Amino acid sequence: MTHLDRDTLALVALAELDLSPAEREHLQSCPACTGELDALRRTVLIGRTAGSVDLVKPADAVWGRIHAALGLSDAVAAPPRRGVDTSVDAAVVDESAAGMVRPPASVVELPRRRRWLPVAAAACLVGVLGGIGATVWWQAARAPEPLPVIAEAQLDALPGWTASGRAYLEEDADGRREVVVDVDGGADAGGLREVWLLTADATGLVSVGLLDGATGRFSIPAGIDLAEYPVVDVSAEPDDGNPAHSGDSIVRGTLSGL
């Protein structure tokens, strides 16, 4: 059996690519690929919601694992801390075995980017090191500028649910679009909550990601025409790896102002 390429699954998890009919058919019948996609979607979800997380100072053991994984010299064994001069004399860092001298080490503050790449890199490092505290060296201190809101939707509960919410659409100067979803309720039923864009008659749908907590921000694929997919839907999904809509929607509303 030929499984789906991991890079393809990563783009699907990021809502940057739609699968072909043949790929969708394989995904529905392959537990390995559906499990891989589910894990990637959770990584993307963690990355996209990391901007609202209060970071904690990592334990010294976190830097110890980074130090060991990268094979760094003993001269930089001490955990780097913000506001502490971590530069060392190049002669001390002389790597006689490799015949090289490493440049002085220092902690550099990196500006936060809105896109997923820095967060995904941090998430991969967390998977190796086993601690989310490692992301402190990649998280920026400056919040991004808010984007213009170009459309909004009131999200109303569907039968059987007590919930409400709001969705609004943002677009940057390069035309990249994000939908922000706020939902009050529906999180106590267990399983997962997934955000979808639907056609007006609900015959077509596109998943944009999993909602963890009350608020989520999701990128909209460039090829999606929101005039054709104006409905924002949040569904309750069993944690079974099936990428299809469960048919059990919690809230739903139509974007106005498009």
Segment 144-170 shows an average pLDDT of 86
Bridge partners, residue 210, by sequence: 194
Look at residues 216, 222, 209 and name the one whose alpha carbon lies nearest to residue 174: 222
What pLDDT score does 1 carry?
A: 53
Residue predicted with more confidence, 37 or 184: 184
Residue 217 pLDDT grade (very low, low, confident, very high; cuts 50, 70, 90): very high
Q: Among the listed ranges 49-63, 83-97, 184-198, 230-244, which one has the minimum average pLDDT value?
A: 83-97
Residue 243 CA to residue 1 CA, distance in Å, equals: 20
Look at residues 29, 26, 6 and name the one whose alpha carbon lies nearest to residue 17: 6
Instruction: Note the pTM of the prediction, 2 decimals.
Output: 0.46
Residue 50 CA to residue 123 CA, distance in Å, equals: 10
Q: Kindly tell me if the per-residue pLDDT of 168 is higher than 60.
A: yes
Residue 16 pLDDT grade (very low, low, confident, very high; cuts 50, 70, 90): confident
Q: Kindly tell me if the per-residue pLDDT of 48 is higher than 50.
A: yes
Tokens 């201190």 identify what position? 141
What pLDDT score does 51 carry?
A: 57
207 touches 194 (CB < 8 A): yes
135 touches 222 (CB < 8 A): no
What pLDDT score does 30 carry?
A: 84
What pLDDT score does 97 carry?
A: 40
Segment 19-28 shows an average pLDDT of 82
Amino acid present at 192: L
Q: Kindly tell me if the per-residue pLDDT of 31 is higher than 80.
A: no
What residues does each domain of the chain span? 60-137, 149-254
Summarised one tens digit per residue, pLDDT across range 61-77 is 787 888 788 878 888 88
Summarised one tens digit per residue, pLDDT across range 96-132 is 444 444 444 444 444 443 444 444 444 444 454 444 4
Q: Kindly tell me if the per-residue pLDDT of 163 is higher than 60.
A: yes
Residue 130 CA to residue 24 CA, distance in Å, equals: 32
What pLDDT score does 125 carry?
A: 44
